[in-house]
Amino acid sequence: MTTPLNERRIANAIRVLAMDAVQQANSGHPGAPMGMADIADVVWREFLTHNPGNPQWINRDRFVLSNGHGSMLQYALLHLTGYDLSIEDLKQFRQLHSKTPGHPELGYAPGIETTTGPLGQGIANAVGFALAEKTLAAQFNKDDLNVVNHFTYCFLGDGCLMEGVSHEACSLAGTLGLGKLIAYYDDNGISIDGEVEGWFSDDTEQRFNAYGWQVLRVDGHDAQAIRQATLKAQTETTKPTLIICKTIIGLGSPNKQGKEDCHGAPLGGEEIKLTREALGWAEEAFVIPEDIYAAWNAKEKGTQAEATWNELFTQYQAKYPLEAAELLRRTSGDLPDDFAEKAAQFISDTNAKAETIATRKASQNTLQAFGPLLPELLGGSADLAGSNLTLWKGCQGIQDNPAGNYVHYGVREFGMTAIANGVALHGGFIPYVATFLMFMEYARNAVRMSALMKQRVIHVYTHDSIGLGEDGPTHQPIEQIASLRGTPNLNTWRPADTVETAVAWKSALERKEGPSALILSRQNLPFQNRNAEQIANIEKGAYILAEEKGELKAIIIATGSEVDLAMQAYTELDGVRVVSMPSAEVFMQQDAAYRETVLPVNIRARVAVEAAHVDYWWKFVGLDGKVIGMTSYGESAPAKDLFKHFGISKDAVINAVKSLA
């Protein structure tokens, strides 16, 4: 180890803050922050371009702590470099309503770019950041003015590399040549269960070489080696770089460094005393000397960096005013001023056409209409573009054109979704990603993260039921829709025809505070006639599609392909109302008065019909009602045979209503 003592002392500020905060909370992971402190010292003080006074500056470098259990590393860095994160905030580590939760959480502390914790997703988000930077730069930069020009730095650990999502995302990053992605692997050989060589013997260097990355090896406690490796990474413009940093977990702790003892538990009062002595750190807990603060503070440097960029952007605005205004609009997340009007016109035109087509095709038609209006759309599919119908005529693959608007993700559902989260977090794009609904299961945790982080990601899922037919039970989703509907802050739409599909897309695009899932059919679905009021009410999640004839006695609730079954039954029943409910979550967000107009509480005779798991619907029909749907997995057969076999039919709906009303 050749790091000078004064530089090691600067890095030691991270070590003492980490062990003190974890000890005070009696919970946390001190080992990773202590082991990675020397890497963080070099990256944050010498390379990271950021402004603590304006954490949302457009052209800042992005930093991702993928091994998010080491969150005190990031909190210490934010505090030391001058962000609005006080020493008192550090003392509240892992406490209720603090700005310093147990893993980095977007929106809690300034400077946190993404929520990490589920291992592997941070590096996948970082790939998304780098992908967004490269594509946005290609779309906006000019030969004489590069206004989008920043790096993505990511710290990650053994756990991230063991998780399968890292394989998916890093493989694609190499293929796309994301040269401004620089990852630092904390190669400390320790996880919760002990020394990882017993369960993690991959040749990481060869693995990343095979992905098409530049791979460098350094002593993770040698500042000069880290510095030189980072400089080399910055000059490699055609490949992402992995810097494998050999470190000692918990460095500085005389009795626990290099052991799993310091991975996920406080060091203990006596060990902290010994560690302070070993580090030559005389100050009390949570006390940082002023000269150390001065060495870390990045406010002046960050302010100057942003001011320099502002001068560059002023030149850009003068020379390219339209592009400058568009960049600011897109990075603000606002849609074009005329989008709502033009989208409404498309919905009206769609209603006039009255087409009977699959909702996946209706989705493609909607993309064809909305795509030219929204250059911020960045689409993609997990090797199913021809089935998901996510390509529209204006699509250009970024593999062929870096300024394009479509990503061929390959068979990487989890990686795709986590990357899309990173794209959304970066800003400047609205990502949409697609696969079969069944294979949402591969991506499930990343879908959850987009909802948790309130990101505008549009998840397109086609082949939505047993209606896909012959592929059989492995491909026929049963419980997936209920799983999505049960995800907080996710709006799930299952449209019944072309008009509902267009409204679902409009709603998803206009929703800035969270993701949406669009559940689409493989098979053709009949068009449903509506008046203007009914069309307007689609965006409320549920509405009366067919008014009761005579006194209201029963209500049929349906979604997607089963709305037509409900309408067929309606023609043979009196006193029955049909409610189409394309989005139950959106409906439940409406006021009580509207919900009462659609589903009056005094009408207990209710039947729900959906070719999915029945359990979800009891909340709407009550124990007195009936649900027609699936209670088992599917079978392999033509769709019409399957619906008959599983009893999802017009006659079943009629009989259910008659048994109640």
Per residue in 101-160, pLDDT tens? 999 999 999 999 999 999 999 999 999 999 999 999 999 999 999 999 999 999 999 999
CA 268, 270, 273, 274 torsion: positive or negative? negative
Q: What is the mean pLDDT of the chain?
A: 97
Q: Is the pLDDT at 571 greater than 90, yes or no?
A: yes
Average pLDDT (611-629) is: 97
pLDDT digits (tens, 9 = 90+) for 542-568: 999 999 999 999 999 999 999 999 999
Q: 82, exposed or middle or buried, with CB in 10 Å at 0-12, 13-18, 19+?
A: buried
Topology of domain 540-659, per CATH? Answer: Rossmann fold (3.40.50)
Q: How many beta carbons lie within 10 A of that of residue 499, not counting itself?
A: 25
The pLDDT of residue 151:
98
The per-residue pLDDT for range 50-93, each reduced to its tens digit, is: 999 999 999 999 999 999 999 999 999 999 999 999 999 999 99
Token representation of residue 141: 């930069």
Q: Which CATH class is domain 338-520?
A: alpha beta
Evaluate whether 2 touches 222 at the Cβ level (below 8 Å): yes
User: How confident is the model over 213-233, as a mean pLDDT?
Assistant: 98
Do the annotations mark residue 188 as ligand-binding?
yes
Q: Are strands 458-462 and 430-436 parallel, antiparallel or unpaired?
A: parallel
Q: What would the mean pLDDT of 417-426 be, rounded to a whole number?
A: 98
**Token duo for residue 28:** 């946390």
CA separation (Å) from 397 to 84, 105, 389, 415?
A: 40, 32, 15, 18
293-349 residue pLDDT tens: 999 999 999 999 999 999 999 999 999 999 999 999 999 999 999 999 999 999 999
CATH topology for the 5-303 domain: Rossmann fold (3.40.50)
Is 623 annotated in a binding site? The answer is no
Say whether 158 counts as a known binding-site residue.
yes
Structure tokens at 396: 């250009």
117 marked ligand binding residue:
yes
Q: What is the mean pLDDT of residues 497-503?
A: 98
Where does the chain hold its CATH 3.40.50.920 domain(s)? 540-659
Q: Which long-range contacts (CB under 8 A, 24 or more apart) does 4-7 make?
A: 4/223, 7/41, 7/223
Instruction: Evaluate whether 359 touches 520 at the Cβ level (below 8 Å).
Output: yes
- Neighbouring residues of 287: CB distance < 8 A, sequence distance ≥ 6: none
CA dist., res. 79 & res. 624, Å (int):
57
Helix, strand or coil, per DSSP, at residue 308 = helix
- Residues marked as catalytic: 413
Q: What is the mean pLDDT of residues 195-212?
A: 97
Token pair, residue 2, equals 């050749």
Query: Is 50 annotated in some ligand binding site?
Result: no
pLDDT above 90 (res 374): yes
End-to-end, the C-alpha distance of the chain in Å comes to: 82
Question: In the predicted model, what is the mean pLDDT of residues 194-205?
Answer: 96
Print the SS3 string covering 405-433. CEEECCCCHHHHHHHHHHHHHHCCCEEEE
Q: What is the DSSP letter of 156?
A: E
Q: How far apart, in whole angstroms, are the C-alpha atoms of residue 436 and residue 560? A: 16
Q: Is the pLDDT of residue 377 over 90?
A: yes
Instruction: Record the pTM.
Output: 0.98
Q: Cβ of 262: how many Cβ atoms within 10 Å?
A: 30
Q: What is the DSSP string of 190-214?
A: EETTEEGGGT----HHHHHHHHT-E
Cβ neighbours of 174 (radius 10 Å): 20
Q: Is pLDDT at 659 greater than 60 in this prediction?
A: yes
Give the whole-angstrom CA distance, residue 339 versus residue 288.
Answer: 52
On whether the CB atoms of residues 611 and 562 are closer than 8 A, the answer is yes
Helix and strand element counts for the chain (H, E): 27, 20
Phi and psi angles of residue 175, each rounded to the nearest 5 degrees, phi first = -60, -40
Q: Is 9 annotated as a binding residue?
A: no
Tell me if residue 397 falls in helix, strand or coil: strand
pLDDT for residue 5: 57
Nearest alpha carbon to residue 434 among 457, 410, 414, 460? 460
Q: 317 phi and psi, to 5 degrees?
A: -60, -40
Residue ranges with strand state E in 489-575: 491-493, 516-519, 524-525, 543-546, 554-558
**Full strand arrangement of the beta sheet holding 406-408:** 406-408, 377-381, 430-436, 458-462, 516-519, 491-493
Q: Can you name the residues that pair with 187 across neighbouring β-strands?
A: 246
Residue 531 has pLDDT above 70, yes or no: yes
Say which residues have a Cβ less than 8 Å from residue 321's Cβ, sequence separation at least 6: none
Amino acid occupying residue 280: G
Give residue-wise pLDDT tens across range 23-47.
999 999 999 999 999 999 999 999 9
The answer to whether 371 is annotated as binding is no
Distance CA 215, CA 229 (A): 10
Q: Is pLDDT above 60 for 379?
A: yes
Amino acid at 230: T
Is 469 a known ligand-binding residue?
no
> Is residue 521 marked as binding?
no
How far is residue 567's CA from residue 573's CA, in Å, rounded to a whole number? 10
Average pLDDT over residues 162-168: 98
Q: Are 409 and 310 in contact (CB under 8 A)?
A: no
Which residues in the chain are classed under CATH 3.40.50.970?
5-303, 338-520
Is the pLDDT score of 4 beyond 90?
Answer: no
Which pLDDT score is estimated for 661? 83
Q: Encoding tokens for residue 118? A: 């589920």
Residue 244 labelled as part of a binding site: no
The 3-state secondary structure of 294-350 reads HHHCCHHHHHHHHHHHHHHHHHHHHHCHHHHHHHHHHHHCCCCCCHHHHHHHHHHHH
The residue type at 350: T
